[in-house]
Amino acid sequence: MNVMSHKGYFARVEYDAEDEIFFGRLAGITDGVGFHADTVSDLKAAFHDAVDDYIETCAKAGKDPQKPYSGRMMFRVDPEIHAKAARAAALAGKSLNQWAAEVLAEAATEDA
């Protein structure tokens, strides 16, 4: 995976073969913050500049910069999966929230 991180912000990097540039966009925020460059070293600098500029621009505007993730997740699953997960959590002596957080953390580190 082509991922960059700086000051708690992340971006996935892609390559545009037609324009022969690397490009990316900050992930996990709704504000559109992108960057691009011709070389990997310039791309790193452009990414750092994009994050720093975003934080600075928000400060000048009196706005808090969006944090990439709040820690809250709300999603729907099949009722049968919900029941199985609740049972697994109870058998592990944990709340469903604690159990799900551990399972998600383990799954997320497997692919990283």
Structure confidence by residue, pLDDT tens digits, 15-65:
999 999 999 999 888 888 999 999 999 999 999 999 999 999 999 999 999
Return the H-helix or E-strand segment holding 5: strand 3-6
Spans of all domains in the chain = 3-60, 79-111
**Alpha carbon distance 44, 50 (integer Å):** 10
Q: How many CB atoms lie within 10 A of CB 11?
A: 23
Higher pLDDT, 111 or 23: 23
Predicted confidence (pLDDT) at residue 110 exceeds the cutoff of 70? no
Mean pLDDT, the chain, integer: 91
